[in-house]
Structure 1
Amino acid sequence: MGRQITNKLPFRDLFFVMQDIQYLTAAAGEQLKVAAGAEPLLLIVEAGNGLLQSEQGEKLLAQHMIQMIRPREQARIINDGQPTLGCFMITYKVYQAEKQSHLNSQLDNEPSDLVERNSVLEATDSIQDMVRSLFRAANTVDEQEAIANRFIFQKLVFALTEQQRFQKESKNPRLAVKRTLQYMERHLDEAISVEQLARLANISRRWYTVLFKEMTGENPLDYLIGLRIRKAKDLLNLSGDSFHIIARRVGFEDEHYFSRRFKQKVGLSPRYYLQQRRHFGTRVTYPELMHVLGVTPIAAPTPHQEFPYYLQASFGGVEKLHYNKILSLDKIRSSKPDLIVASEWQDQAIYEELSRIATTVLLPSREDWRDELRDMAEILGKRSEANAVIERFSVKLDQARETLYFAVKGETVVYVRLTFEGAVVFGEKSSRGRILYSELGLKPPDISALSQAGIILPLDRLSELKADHIILQTDNKKLWGRTNGERLTIGRESRIHQVGHAEWYNFSFSPLATHFAVDEMIQIFAARK
């Protein structure tokens, strides 16, 4: 009996029925043996990367890739060093319609493949959604849901058929070439040839090289050297390994050849590169943390026209990058950093983009600048310097606490930052409040809101704080319009002490700003007659 064929794929008189769907996981370095029975297996990679070894040879497995394991075929799924490899495995049967008898018979001989032997299919968003729906409802006992599942599987069959048809019409093996880029990144410590990459992509060496250059702008070997040098930079910045070990980890057998190649690409030898590293921190506090550890960044984000007073002498040659919650990646790129320190809680979404600019490390969020300084010191190899900074600050706090005890004499103090949203009053559980009230021993007004993180008030309600002293931080005098020391007399007098916005901006978040603020508070209170 004849049957209609579309691009060698059965289309009209064959019926595909899903038998089972499983989700397999393989940890880093783990191998899974898979044996197909009488029915073929459809493999959809959900996460991770690896290899599929079978009687047909070795194939790449990458996230969102689709492969086939044919009936009675023995195969091995290998996670070659990446985070957990996860994939869906679908078993299905193929039935052929018998027009005369109106019956269906299973197609035992030459079952139709959903993925042809030389095809590289991709699990698009819609295909991923269909597979997840099939998995979620695999064990349903609801008849309607089971029927819906059968239709979803037919849609999946059609989607795979269509994707192969479009690939054949366009004759575009770019997806396979793209997968070899991922393979190169995962196997930098191994010998890799163009012939091997072309074989993995299942195209000729010449055609592979042409496509590769169209897609990357480089020939395969130059691109590979670039990957190895970028990985070497990461290891130089973060691992502490010897040059010999780093050379081996990025695929160079000889340390001297590695050094020559590194200098060709970077312009510096590995040793001199380490001595001349250009550092950049994405948050406004990071340049200060670097500076107190003896490292001056090449550029620094700042929300101000000028750096704070206490940094101006040291940061004369540091480029100012205007910061308004979002940093320009182009500006970071133009500063040509070698090591980027970024914030885990703010920069996670752009980590990949930052990593393409330079080696990037994410710092965790910390409640106390001293913990953040220790994290920064671990990255920069400055642990003893961090301990010395923290010890000096502890001594300073002891001295300041005693001075302020006699100067303030039990009067209440509140710290307020003026914004366009209102007056932000910092309570005892805020980071600034902890410095003022817990570490310096100052006394807050007896207001319940100040026993917590704080409160936002309209400017004309500041008198409700009933504080003897208000430390007022503002960068816009229009928000305030009063002179330093002027009394606010609405029900009770409060003495206003206006402080510089740039200098107090990082108060309680960095050592230099906090040092500066403590010194200014001593000047404010100890100098009173």
Structure 2
Amino acid sequence: MDQISDMRFEDRSISIPTDEMAAKLWGVDVITAGDTQLFGRQLTNSYAIVALLSGGGTLERDGRTCRLRPDTVYPCMPETTFGITPEEGDSAIAVVRFGLYRTDSRFAGETYAAEAGAVTALFLNRDTAIEPHGRVADLCRAMRDGMGSGDALLRWKAQIGLYELLYETMAASGRQRTAGTGEALERARRYMEEHCGEPLNIERLAGIAELSPKYFVDLFKKTYGRSALDFLTHIRMAKAKRLMLRSDRRLKDIAHEVGYEDEFYFSRKFKKESGLSPTAFRKRRERKIALYGSSSLLGYMLPLHIIPHAAPLHPKWSEDYYNLLGADIPFHLDGYRQNYRKSENLDRLAESRPHLIVTAPGLEIWEKERLDAIAEHIEMPEEPAGWRQGLLLLAERLGETAEAERWIGEYERRTAELKARAESSLQREPVLFVRVLKGRLYAYCNQGIEDVVYGDLAVIRPEGLPARGTFNEPLSLEKLERLGTGRVLVLVCQESETLDAWKRLSASPEWLSLSAVRNRKLQLIGSNPWREHSPVAAEKIRDEAIALLAGNCP
């Protein structure tokens, strides 16, 4: 049986079957600044919804006063008091009064008042924002006009308007409740990551999430696919791996830093989690693995917990990797514009005396000949193979298949959880990517965007562009207007000629008249991570896409 709501009170669930709920609209009052008789506190014997139609005003309930916001429903329960104060000017506030009843399907025609507790669950006892803009005001005005009409058919239509308003309220309340518990869990998850070295238990984590311990345990496992304590163990072991690979600190000190007083217990947990003892894991540092051709290769090494002996790095073109790993990589190759200085980098690579070299695809013959003279090398597959296949192939050659499978599994779990929470926003409208280069526009899709945005997150593609795969098609402003019917994300190449052209274009009347610009649906994105194709970049693209398109940062 369909349920209107399922809200927990002290671990009990109160629900209302939708096919047993009936509503009756009693009337709609519209209060303006010119009215006086409806001002002040009043007792309501019926259910009521307060909504701002225009201007501004305040609502007082239960001794608390709040400023009314547009597109928001404010519920008031029977036998409670509330007061309304419109602001001066053209302010108008609607008060929709109605009754709620339950019908017994076993006995035709028998109805009775809905239980107070069930109705509290129905509204989730909270104010609820409803989309799209103007929907609440339109419904309230239509109900008022219908109820005041001498036409019985229009009065009956007003009753339908009440059902529509209740439906919108319940649906939006459910979405907000899900987002609220999701944020609570995210708060606990972030706390685990930032304080994993401290003593943590379920009671403390549940307190941070402001949920009961039992509800927290059940909801965390349902959301993340593993228990909170298992998740904490995963965080602690990941940090321990980073510490072991980057320093010569004693195992006892590392165990203490990640939250374990007993280093032997830590070793057992580490082996169970990673499949290797800490000593065996630490021997990885003895392998001198070098990277050549692109700093994006670091995005394949990090999931395997391997810090390379040599790699291309640059403080601008690979800023994140430079800041994260620069001090841990002994030999820096020049990462300017992704291996711009090839001969110098090959000389530096030979100087590092690596055991194995991992290279980007598409090398020239002379580069491969130089590499053959330095050490054995592995060439990564072309991008269309996808980052998952590339990671698994590399991991197999390095004997790290289990580590790669663990990382991919965690990515899949996290992606599924984020997608479920934001699916309605992600699939609301098409998303067009535009690249700006030297004063020209291109409809754009690289392999990372294809794999993550249109693939993993199932974001809608604009009509009129290839159904799948990468492309870089010239784009006029007229075609941008036709294709950019939803969100438009713009990637501006960060070099002087393009930046000057972009400054002129973005200030032009033609650009400012675009629908996406006028409706504030156009946003800029950066080269990092949107131009990179790697597991780490895929993770960042996923998180940024969720934040940009769904309005929440995980």
Task: Give the TM-score category using the shorter length.
Answer: 0.3 to 0.5
- The two structures have a TM-score, normalised by structure 1, of 0.42
Greater Rg by CA: 1
Structure with the bigger percentage of helix: 2
